[in-house]
C-alpha cells in the first residue's frame, strides 16, 4: 500500500441485483479484496458478503479506482462471468481526468506491460517481457491544464490505464503511484469505472450497467 489504509465508511451502493448477479459502485480508497494483514481486511468483497452472503468475486478494481464491479451470486454465474472476462467478452468504459492536453482526441495505446519488480505493485512498459495491452481513448473535453477522457481497455492488465496514460505523458490526476508533485495533489485518483457491459449468466442477454463518475 502506498500509504495508511483508511477506507471510506460508506454504505453499499447497489446498482443492480437479481438472482444471479450483483452490481456495486465501489468507492475510491476501498480495496476490492482483503490485503495481507488484519489492517487490510476491510474490502468491498467482505462488505458485499455481509449483505449478500452468497456473493462471489469475479474481477477487481484498484483500491484508488471507483466504479462498477460485478459479483456473482451463484457458482454458475461466477464461472459464466469469469469466462466472459477471460475471453474479453465484457466491455468496460472508464472516465479519467489526466494532466495536460491529450491529443489527438481519439487514439489507441498499444504498449506491453509487466511488473516493475523492485517497485511492486508498480507496473511498467516492457517491450521484451511485457504482456500485450491495448487501451482506446476518446477525449470528452479540455479544461485548464487537464483533459477529461473516456478510456476503453481492450485488455485487463494490472494498472493498465494508469501506466498507459503515464506513457503518453498524461498521468491520471491524483495517482499515488505514477503522478508526481502537483499532479498527485488531489483528494483521490481521478479514475472511475463508469460502464460495464456483459452477458447475463441466465440466458446470455446483453446488459449494460452504469455509475456516474463522482468527479
Active site residues: 62
Residues 6+ apart with CB under 8 A from 172: 96, 97, 98, 99, 161, 162, 165, 166, 178, 179, 189, 190, 191
Cell numbers 498524461 correspond to: 170
Residue 59: phi and psi, rounded to 5, are -150, 180
Q: How far apart are alpha carbons 184 and 38 in whole angstroms?
A: 28
83 SS3 class: helix
DSSP class of 172: B
Q: How far apart are alpha carbons 145 and 190 in whole angstroms?
A: 14
Q: How far apart are alpha carbons 22 and 77 in whole angstroms?
A: 10
Q: How far apart are alpha carbons 68 and 112 in whole angstroms?
A: 25
Amino acid at each position: 500500500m502506498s500509504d495508511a489504509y483508511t477506507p471510506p465508511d460508506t454504505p453499499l451502493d447497489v446498482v443492480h441485483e437479481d438472482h444471479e448477479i450483483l452490481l456495486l459502485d465501489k468507492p475510491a480508497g476501498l480495496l476490492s479484496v482483503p490485503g495481507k494483514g488484519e489492517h487490510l481486511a476491510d474490502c468491498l468483497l467482505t462488505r458485499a458478503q455481509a449483505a449478500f452472503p452468497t456473493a462471489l468475486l469475479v474481477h477487481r478494481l484498484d483500491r484508488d479506482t471507483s466504479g462498477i464491479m460485478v459479483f456473482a451470486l451463484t457458482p454458475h454465474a461466477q464461472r459464466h462471468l469469469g469466462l466472459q472476462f477471460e475471453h474479453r467478452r465484457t466491455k468496460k468504459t472508464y472516465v479519467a481526468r489526466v494532466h495536460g492536453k491529450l491529443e489527438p482526441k481519439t487514439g489507441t495505446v498499444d504498449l506491453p506491460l509487466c511488473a516493475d519488480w523492485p517497485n511492486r505493485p508498480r507496473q511498467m512498459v516492457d517491450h521484451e517481457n511485457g504482456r500485450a495491452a491495448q487501451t482506446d481513448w476518446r477525449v470528452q473535453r479540455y479544461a485548464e491544464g487537464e483533459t477529461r477522457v473516456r478510456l476503453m481497455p481492450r485488455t485487463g492488465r494490472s494498472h493498465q490505464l494508469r501506466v498507459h496514460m503515464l506513457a503518453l505523458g498524461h498521468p491520471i490526476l491524483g495517482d499515488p503511484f505514477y503522478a508526481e508533485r502537483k499532479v498527485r495533489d488531489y483528494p483521490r485518483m481521478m479514475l472511475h469505472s463508469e460502464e460495464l457491459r456483459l452477458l447475463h449468466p441466465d440466458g446470455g442477454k446483453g446488459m449494460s450497467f452504469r455509475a456516474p463518475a463522482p468527479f
